[in-house]
Structure 1
Amino acid sequence: MSENKNKILVALDGSEKAFKTIKYLCSFKPFHKKELVLHNIITKVPECYYDLKKEPFSYKATSRVKAWELGYKAEIEKFMEKSKRMLIASGFKPEAIRITIAERNKGIARDIMDEAQKGYDALLIRRRGGMQSLLPLAMGSVSTKLVEKTVCLPVMLAGIQKVNHSLCLAVDGSEGAKRAIEFVGKTIENSDCRVVLCSVLRDYEGYDERKKKEVAVGGIGTALEEIEAVIEETRKQFESVGIKREKIENKIIQGAKSRASAIIEAAREENCDTIVFGRKGRSDVAHFDIGRVPWKVIHGAKKMTVWIIP
């Protein structure tokens, strides 16, 4: 993971849904020590529209297009200033918030990814923007691209569930999980946040020729000893950054058919508002941009906030 820059890039589209992202930032107290860059990409009208000015019959049409463009930019600026005031009122320092409004260049997702490589600690987005609110999809196209391709820093998907500062952290002993633990520790250090260390153990499966199906062939016993050691070490890491021992809990789930479903259910049972994953778990397949379990959680825990750590 790159050096912690203590700065979050917040991608906003000026919609009502984007205000929920601001409300999330206001509610999650550990973020108040961070610097924020409120970032918007404006899609301007193509220059060919203004070439029509040479045609007398099109003057009114091009004038209306120009008026729309100016009005749209003014609305975005108003949105950004309102967001900044909300953040300051919640406890952020005024000097820690910067607003950037950029013109679209390569495409919204690519432009955000380019900006994200300029020394940020994390990227905060929503699952869907305001323009896609009527679509029956769990994720918008821009959000999907950002989750898939932003591999240089953590990506946070802001949810709508009320923030209660309880995080469910998936622990499996993998390098991805270790980096997730490190990131969470730096983010919530010396706070009153509660952390639930969640691990899902499944038996290895083999094909039973007689029964003509996959059957469990054992393996949980050995894995249990290993994961208990990992959880204890993780507990010590969080204590070392100022999280009280009574705020650190563990939940080991055995025999679940689906890791993703088990983790979502565990987060709900424990009343967690945030689920945290390493980008890839033990099955670190090189040509996959993100592991299967995180994708399933993103789509299954629609109201929760999800952090994906590279």
Structure 2
Amino acid sequence: MNNRSTFAGFITVIIRNDPSASSRTGVTAIHAPITVHYRSTEVDGVDLFYREAGPADGPVVLLLHGFPTSSHMFRNLIPLLADRYRVIAPDYPGFGQSAAPDRASFSYGFGHFADLVDGLLGKLGAKSYAMYVMDYGAPVGYRLALKHPERVSGLIVQNGNAYEEGLGAFWDEIKAYWASGSAERRQVLADQVTLEAIKFQYTDGVRDVTRISPDNWVHDQALLDRPGNREIQLDLFYDYRTNVQLYPQIQAFFRDRRPPTLIVWGENDQIFAAAGAHAYLRDLPDAELHLLDTGHFALEDKLDEIAPLIHDFLDRKIAGR
């Protein structure tokens, strides 16, 4: 038998060379692509959108997105994991297809996001999960871990920070805003929600930018430009300081629980420096670390390398737990 197959989730073609098998079953067998479902549900009065795929009884893999995007960043990864895993990828309030309540009546913060994702997982019956954390997904996911450490079956860390070493020069103006909380410092950061800044996040540190779809920053910017959304994002920039304050507790979780961990990090990232990836090994010495020649949104450039690493990790460390 001669098999030609793509990675899990895409069309698979099997060519049978056995004439008798051909006469019985035909020459070619084609398996349909994975179906992704696009759903919304209300959690604590907020409509949360999420993508879901894979077997309902499969081990859960929770995908937590970064700024300035949404579960859209996982659109290509989800089908590659959903052959045997139940994949759930929510949008936080103010992002993607989730509701964006007025900030006058809704608290935009990472603790609140974690509570809402926790409520969503409760509604979906996800009692244990491996977490893929990237950028904002790291503080959301790690706050979940502090609430329910026993539920975390594993970690996949992709440019998601938990150490001071990861906060390089990019963060100087944000730290100045944390220190003063002033309107002047806040206004300086408004440049971070412009099209030029969003495009930078996707393309900086990437060797071949033709691998990056411009749909990414066009899609993200359209959502950032919704009325009131810029102020929501600036609120979150300020609230991010509370995540840094939690780093000692998060690091203690790593040491105490020792979850199986895969680190796949774009080493050219100026937002979260590669030193932040190495720092994980202090508290998770058994973590598997892969530094990739790309930038912040490594999935856009290196999906062909990252997806097999993740699937292999899940198969070895999560599938049988």
Give TM-score scaled by structure 2 length. Answer: 0.26
Higher relative contact order (CA 8 A, sep 6+): 1
Structure with higher Rg: it is 1
Give TM-score scaled by structure 1 length. Answer: 0.27
